[in-house]
Amino acid sequence: MSNIKKLLKILSDGKCHSGAAIGKKLGVTRAAIWKLIQQLKAWNIEVEAKTNQGYSISGGMDLLDEKKIAEACSLPKDALKVYDECVSTNTFLLERVREGKKMPRYCLAEYQSHGRGRLGREWFSAYGKNIYFSMAWTFHGDLSQLAGLSLAVAVVVARALNAYGIKEGLGLKWPNDVQWRGKKLAGILIELQGESHHQYEVIIGVGINGESSETMRKAVGQSITSIDEITHQPFERNHFMVLLIQSLTESLQKFQQSGLKTFLKDWESFDVALHKKVKLILGEQTIEGVCRGVDSVRGALLLEDTRGKVCDYSAGEISLRLPC
């Protein structure tokens, strides 16, 4: 185990540990500990340093446990990998597919150095607090049948959050923002790689805010919330991941068989824009109208204009804004 991992294990109990005690356990000097602490800060871990007392991580940390999650989900050997640090779990799987290399189907990271969001945005990372998860899934069929997938995955994430214990306030903003009482709680990034004989490798990335710190709020610059804020309890990431992996695996089989259809009822129940006045931002262009739900095959947004004409819009580069 690396020294940084050993230090994290020591600090994960949330208690204060003196530099001398840490140095003894790790067999390193105080200067070396200071360097390791700087590394933790670079991962956006908020380490408290108290003069003459030592270091602590407020609230401790529930680190991801690869074995525990894989066993609970009955996954085959090597199907799941938990990495300490990753550029981006989506990028990692995409590169593996591109290079034709062996890869885990399910990939989790404690920290992403270049996490990516929709529309080329950055996705904030803090070590050990949130969920950065990607799954590689082989889809058989026509590309057009994949159009509704991002909505179906959003429904699956909302169902997993519901099963985790969040019983009210959850909403979905087209195409796949997961919200709680109007604040962003989770995001989904779906990417495709290659086609041969109607077979696509789909990388499904899910990011969930587990704990929101001041640093995170400042970095994100939009209204966000997190699991700990909603439940008033620390986020049990291992438990949540078992729910998500089980639900996603089962739901993707359903999607392969019957597309978006089986997810539509739940989409409607979570849809925060349904029958509301909304704006669609498409580059420089803004289109206003009333949201009339989504098209049942492709998941395109149905927008009614002032003359009562309904047009459909596919996700692509569009963002949806609701009135505040």
User: In degrees, to the nearest 5, what angle opens at C-alpha 125 toward C-alphas 89 and 36?
Assistant: 105
Nearer residue to ligand BTN within complex by CB, 55 or 127: 127
For the CB of residue 133, give the shortest distance to ligand BTN in the complex, in Å. 6
For the CB of residue 25, give the shortest distance to ligand BTN in the complex, in Å. 32
Nearer residue to ligand BTN within complex by CB, 191 or 304: 191
Q: Which of 105, 184, 237, 298 is catalytic?
A: 184
Largest separation between any pair of C-alpha atoms in the chain:
75
Nearer residue to ligand BTN within complex by CB, 33 or 108: 108
Q: Which residues contact 186 (CB under 8 A, 6 or more apart)?
A: 131, 157, 161, 177, 178, 206, 207, 208, 209
* DSSP code for 91: H
Query: b/e map of 175-191 (b: 16 or more CB within 10 Å)?
Result: bbbbbbeebbbbbbbbb
Q: Which of 105, 116, 118, 237 is catalytic?
A: 118
Nearer residue to ligand BTN within complex by CB, 191 or 228: 191
Q: Give yes or no: 98 in active site.
A: no
For the CB of residue 251, give the shortest distance to ligand BTN in the complex, in Å. 18
Q: Give yes or no: 321 in active site.
A: yes
Q: Give yes or no: 118 in active site.
A: yes
**Site residues for ligand BTN per CB under 6 A:** 88-90, 112, 115-118, 121, 123, 132-134, 177, 187-189, 205-207
Q: Which of 264, 278, 276 is nearest to 320 (CA)?
A: 278
For the CB of residue 320, give the shortest distance to ligand BTN in the complex, in Å. 12
Element (H, E) at 133: strand 131-140
For the CB of residue 195, give the shortest distance to ligand BTN in the complex, in Å. 22
Rounded to a whole number of angstroms, the distance between the first and last alpha carbons of the chain is 49
Q: Which residues contact 212 (CB under 8 A, 6 or more apart)?
A: 224, 225, 226, 228, 229
Pairing of strands 106-112, 80-86: parallel
Q: Which residues are the active-site residues?
A: 118, 184, 321
